[in-house]
Structure 1
Amino acid sequence: MGDTREHVLTGSHGPITVRERPRERPRYLALVVHGYGEHAGRYEEPAGVLVEHGAAVFAPDHMGHGRSAGERVLVEDFEEVVGDVHLVAELARSVHPGVPVALIGHSMGGLISARYAQRYGDELAALVLSGPVIGAWELPGMLLSLDEIPDTPISPAALSRDPAVGAAYMADPLVWHGPMKRPTVEAFARTLETVAKGGDVGRLPLLWLHGDDDRLVPLAGSRVGVEQLSGGNLTERIYPGARHEVFNETNSAEVFADLIRFLDGVLTG
């Protein structure tokens, strides 16, 4: 799957592992921010597309995820995760100073990336949100109203119309298959509110990708958050029939083409 390098940084709660897909003299740097319970290794295909397009790609495993340190899927403060991603950006810029940076976040990674753009937007050339957990996401409130959070695993069929995607997800030992943890759900709820009140990202170019059959992060709720976040420079691509992981969907070639077209516009504009 191409040359991959691994870095270990000292994050807010111990070592975090970063995967780099290098590119000599890159046009831009792509920071890929993964979602809840998964890890950066699930983004090899989009990373390959980005490298072919001219990017050097850096993708961390968040605290408590993948090969990084910490109790599994425990995130008590997403501001700390944003800080960890900023460390990754500093690493990328130290390798390639002066090169523009695109931040690409999926699902929970979309929440982290939205907050990152509110805090560090002046350091970014572009923001891409895929199935982002922002806006009116009802799950945290529903779970926090219960005495005990149920052990209800994510349905693999909710990820993609391609059954091989769900099968690989279920077999992946670095994916968390247990219940959500109350402190993490509480952190989700707080950060959703923080992002909603945090203001827009000005003229930062924003691309929103979403499947209209996303059962994990419904389209309508995310739209509320995207419209609050955008400063008016918004491109949206909604895919009929697609589920949560549009980069792993049966129409992924279309999704990648939209992503590359957007990034070309940013880099040449």
Structure 2
Amino acid sequence: MAQSREHTFSGTRDRITARVWPNERPRYVAVLVHGYGEHIGRYEYVADRLVRHGAAVYGPDHMGHGRSEGDRVLIEDFEDVVTDVHTVERLGRADHPGVPVVVIGHSMGGLIAARYAQRHGAGLAALVLSGPVIGSWAIVPELLAYEEPPGTPIDPATLSRDLSVGTAYAADPLVWHGPFKRATLEAFATTLATIAGSGTFGSLPTLWVHGEADELVPIAGSRPGVEAVRGADLTERVYPGARHEVFNETNKDEVLDDVTAFVDRALSRAS
């Protein structure tokens, strides 16, 4: 696996820890945006594939997640998270001036990446959305119906057909295994509406990958959201039988081959 180092900075609300997988002469900078309750350390395999493909890889633990500071899984405004990710992008650009940037977001990270593209897409070479929380996510209104959201732990078996992925997830001390915070659910609802009303990605090359059997973020809820923001250059890949974490699925190499081939096409168009 590619070696990595940590970098910390003052985020919009709390101190943020980011991880960097360096590449001395990268063809592009990849910014990884992780999902709800997890952390960037779960993306070692993805980062290794991207480094071998020619990327320098950067990714933060969001506020309240992983090694970053803040109340656990408390996000009151996703615009703050987008701003923190932009700080990470600027770090990558400072390390590698003039190198194109690709943003890759999974699940909640797909929500963040989609909003990121609306705010900062003019500076990106490509966007990848994996199982994105976009459009509608039924769990948000369901849990907001309660004054105090009940505990709804994620069933690790829904992550991947490779059950070792769920086992590792359940045993990971940096993963949040408790209930949603109400303020975080409200922030999800606000940002889903903001994305829907803030225009398309324009000409930004976008790849949408999703597991056909995703029970955590069902494709039927995400599709209207993707259609609402898609620009002129959308590529879609739906993997039969795959569950939520397509980057950790039994066919993860097929998925990552699709990602790297897409990035190659996007970079060739930009050159």
Tell me the TM-score normalized by structure 1. Answer: 0.99
- Counterpart Cα distance in 2 of 1:40 and 1:95: 20
- Counterpart Cα distance in 2 of 1:147 and 1:6: 38
- What secondary structure is seen at the aligned counterpart in 1 of 2:46? helix
- Counterpart Cα distance in 1 of 2:2 and 2:63: 26
CA contact (8 A) 2:35 2:109 kept: yes
Matched with 2:112 is 112
Look up the equivalent residue of 1:174 and give its one-letter code: L
- What secondary structure is seen at the aligned counterpart in 1 of 2:207? strand
Task: Map Cα deviations across residues 2-57 of structure 1 (whole Å, 9 max, x no partner).
Answer: 22111001101121001000001100000000000000000000100000000000
Look up the equivalent residue of 2:82 and give its one-letter code: V
Task: Map Cα deviations across residues 80-136 of structure 1 (whole Å, 9 max, x no partner).
Answer: 000000000011100001100000000000000000000001110000000000002
Matched with 2:63 is 63
- Counterpart Cα distance in 2 of 1:17 and 1:151: 27
Matched with 1:19 is 19
- Which moves more between the two structures, 134-143 or 164-173? 134-143
- Which moves more between the two structures, 222-231 or 102-111? 222-231
Matched with 1:228 is 228
- Counterpart Cα distance in 1 of 2:232 and 2:125: 15
- Counterpart Cα distance in 2 of 1:268 and 1:138: 38
Look up the equivalent residue of 1:110 and give its one-letter code: G
Give me the identity figure in percent. Answer: 65
Give the 5 Å matches for 1:121-160: 121-160=121-160
Instruction: Number of aligned residue pairs: give it.
Output: 269
Matched with 2:250 is 250
The alpha-carbon deviation at position 176 of structure 1 amounts to 0.2
User: Is 1:28 aligned with 2:16?
Assistant: no
- Counterpart Cα distance in 2 of 1:226 and 1:19: 28
- Counterpart Cα distance in 1 of 2:92 and 2:147: 43
Matched with 2:100 is 100
Look up the equivalent residue of 1:115 and give its one-letter code: R
- Which moves more between the two structures, 78-87 or 221-230? 221-230
The alpha-carbon deviation at position 232 of structure 1 amounts to 2.1
- Counterpart Cα distance in 2 of 1:85 and 1:253: 26
- Counterpart Cα distance in 2 of 1:51 and 1:238: 25
The alpha-carbon deviation at position 150 of structure 1 amounts to 1.1
Look up the equivalent residue of 2:164 and give its one-letter code: A
- Counterpart Cα distance in 2 of 1:229 and 1:258: 21
Q: Which runs of 4+ in 1 moved over 4 A?
A: none
Matched with 1:186 is 186
Look up the equivalent residue of 2:227 and give its one-letter code: E
Give the alignment's Cα RMSD to 1 decimal. 0.7
Matched with 1:165 is 165
Matched with 1:195 is 195
